[in-house]
Structures are given as C-alpha cells and as structure tokens.
C-alpha cells in the first residue's frame, strides 16, 4: 500500500490528475497565488466522478493542513484506483475529490499556508471576526513560539515544561488553549489569519458548482496527527441534531464518531471548514466529518510543529536545520512506518465504503432519487 504515498506535492498532483483522466472523470485545476519550490505553480485540483446530476455526493477533501496532504492524497489515489477497478465501489453516488486544499503547505512541508495561516481556523463565519485568542495562549506564546536560537537542550527542556503544563492544566484544557485557534500572533502556532484565505474564496466561488444538484452531501475531510497511532476518529462538527448523531453513530460505529458535546480526542476549534460549508450549503442536507488518523502523541506533535515553525520564521540562514525540522514534521503527519501506512489505508478504504453506503432514514425520507 506504500505505492499510494507520493514523494512530493507535484508527484501527488500528477498522479491524481492522471488517475482522474484515466477514469474519465471531470478534472478542474485552480491556481493559487503562491508558488512552490523552483517557482512552480501550485493548484488545488478537483475531480468529479459519477453521475452528471447526482442526488447524493461523497465529498472527500485532502491537504487543508498542507503537509497532511501526503496521507490524504494517498487515500484519494487509492480510491481512484478502486473506482477504476470497480471491485468495491458501485456508481450509486457521485464523488467529488478535492486534492490539496492548501497546496503551499503540501509543497513546502508546512501545516499552514504562505501567511502562516492554519486554514482550519480560517473558515470563520463572516460575523465572527478575526480577533482574539483562547485565554492562556498569550502566556504560552513565548514557550510555543520562541524567537531565539534554540540550543541542543531545547527539546528536553520543552518536553519537561510540556509535561509540567499537562500536569498543571490537564491535557484537554491545554489542547484547547493551544489549538483552538488564535488571531493575535501571526507567527505563532494555530494562527487563524486576519482575513479569509484563498481556500475560503475557492470554496465560496466553486463548491456549489462541484456539487451540482446534489440534495445530500457527506463530507469527509482527511487529516492526521490526532488520536491513537493508526486509529481514526470522525469528528462531527456543525449543527447536528440528535437524530443525525444517532444515525452517524449507528452507521460509522459509536467508537469512531465524536461530537462536540462529548469530546474525548478532539478539542473545540474556531473557524473550521465544516460549519462554514454547512452555512453556505443551507439548501443541502450536508454532514461534515473531520476524519482524523492518529500518529504520535500530542506533545510530540506539538514539539514537531513548534520546531518547524521556529525554523521557518527564525532560521532563514540555516537551510540544514530547516530541512531537518520539515523532515521531522513530515514524519509526525505521515509516518514512514509501513505498518502505519498500510493500516490507515485499509481503514480509509473501509470508511469510504461506509461513506458510499451512507443513506440514513432522515435523508431517505426526503424522497430523493438514488441511482
């Protein structure tokens, strides 16, 4: 299964485009303002596969967090191959695959875009405003985002301080303070930006066209770095009633689905893409699941993010240190372990089959036509 993982963004994009064209799907490419390594242009690519006027769509997006695109792209390439072989998927639904929602981060091995914006904190509903930070973030900022040379003892010092902070505040509260999204420290971690990004504009302009006349949309947004090693959680976000909660748990398994009122692995976030899409697709039965595949421990992930962010902003004269930090970050979000890679792809295949078969009573009762 290692074959579906690409060495870099450009290879992943070429494979995605080739696979879509091989399937006879509709391929759309949208150039973003920034450039990749070597001055090469960057695009978000969209594939539309299946019925020309679908009543139901499975929307699968990858790479909102740049570097997590290595995994998301592999899932999409595997899906395209499965669709090509037709051995596990029927054509009862259309698929809309969005490849590389943050192509800058994917190409440059960052989680953020060219403005250091965490795009999954940038989809604020207009009235919310880009301001503020969680209570306690400012106090942690000097630890999370050091603006000085870090000596060789720094990883140990950070691990010790991190363990102390977890003890003092509890892991869940610490996760919320650090990762909920902040709008005051532009070079800091989990910065949500000062305005809507190109990714928001892209979805605002084109999402409804991609979905065509679909009445029901199940959105799987692929992520890594949260949860137990090689396991996955489906984080349901947005306005979800009790009936839909039950339906999701029944269909995808109560162990996998997590809601904001019962958080175990995740934490509340501002500016997530799911609620934004739900607001902009008010005419559609839209369900968002953030599919998070676990890799390393939260503190190790945070240390990797901190190190790469520090290298990116404060070590421009140290390309070797920057490369090393980026390689470590890539390992945090797409481990080289063959066992991890094969088990998450096997789980993804199962998950996509469940997504294909998703048709809860509340959707079926609308009386839409399923082909």
Which residues in this chain contact Zn ion in the complex, by CB under 5 A? Answer: 65, 68, 223
Least distance in angstroms from the C-beta of 234 to Zn ion: 14
Q: Which is nearer to Zn ion, 246 or 265 (CB)?
A: 265
Crossing angle for the helix pair 319-333 and 69-85, nearest 10 degrees? Answer: 50
Q: How far is CA 132 from CA 174, 200, 281, 289, 309, in A?
A: 17, 20, 27, 26, 21
Least distance in angstroms from the C-beta of 290 to Zn ion: 8
Q: Which is nearer to Zn ion, 293 or 314 (CB)?
A: 293
Query: In this structure, are residues 231 and 256 in contact, taking their beta carbons and an 8 Å threshold?
Result: no
Least distance in angstroms from the C-beta of 292 to Zn ion: 7
Q: Which is nearer to Zn ion, 54 or 294 (CB)?
A: 294
Least distance in angstroms from the C-beta of 68 to Zn ion: 5
Q: Which is nearer to Zn ion, 219 or 223 (CB)?
A: 223
Residue owning tokens 């395209």: 80
Q: Which is nearer to Zn ion, 256 or 356 (CB)?
A: 256
Q: Which is nearer to Zn ion, 223 or 341 (CB)?
A: 223
Least distance in angstroms from the C-beta of 217 to Zn ion: 20
Least distance in angstroms from the C-beta of 127 to Zn ion: 25
């Amino acid at each position: 299964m290692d074959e579906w993982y690409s060495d870099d963004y450009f290879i992943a994009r070429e494979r995605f485009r080739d696979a879509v064209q091989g399937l006879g799907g509709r391929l759309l490419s949208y150039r973003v303002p920034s450039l990749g390594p070597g001055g090469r242009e960057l695009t978000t690519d969209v594939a539309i596969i299946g019925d020309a006027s679908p009543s139901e769509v499975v929307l699968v997006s990858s790479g909102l967090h740049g570097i997590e695109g290595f995994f998301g792209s592999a899932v999409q390439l595997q899906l395209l191959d499965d669709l090509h072989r037709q051995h596990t998927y029927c054509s009862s639904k259309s698929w809309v695959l969005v490849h590389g929602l943050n192509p800058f981060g994917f190409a440059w091995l960052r989680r953020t875009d060219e403005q250091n914006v965490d795009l999954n904190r940038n989809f604020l509903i207009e009235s919310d405003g880009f301001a503020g930070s969680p209570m306690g973030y400012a106090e942690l900022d000097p630890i999370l985002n050091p603006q000085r040379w870090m000596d060789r003892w720094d990883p140990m010092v950070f691990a010790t301080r991190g363990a102390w902070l977890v003890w003092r505040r509890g892991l869940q509260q610490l996760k919320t303070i650090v990762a909920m999204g902040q709008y005051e420290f532009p070079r800091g971690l989990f910065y949500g930006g000062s305005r809507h990004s190109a990714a928001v504009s892209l979805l605002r302009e084109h999402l409804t066209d991609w979905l065509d006349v679909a009445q029901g949309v199940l959105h799987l947004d692929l992520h890594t770095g949260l949860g137990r090693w090689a396991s996955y959680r489906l984080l349901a976000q947005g306005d979800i009633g009790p009936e839909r909660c039950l339906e999701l748990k029944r269909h995808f398994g109560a162990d996998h689905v997590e809601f904001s009122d019962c958080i175990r692995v995740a934490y509340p976030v501002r500016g997530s893409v799911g609620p934004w899409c739900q607001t902009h697709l008010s005419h559609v039965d839209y369900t968002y699941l953030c599919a998070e595949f676990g890799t390393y421990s939260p503190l190790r992930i945070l240390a990797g993010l901190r190190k790469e962010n520090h290298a990116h902003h404060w070590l421009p004269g140290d390309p070797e240190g920057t490369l090393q930090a980026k390689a470590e970050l890539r390992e945090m979000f797409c481990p080289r372990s063959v066992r991890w890679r094969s088990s998450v792809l096997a789980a993804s295949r199962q998950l996509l089959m469940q997504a294909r078969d998703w048709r809860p009573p509340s959707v079926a009762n609308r009386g839409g036509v399923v082909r």
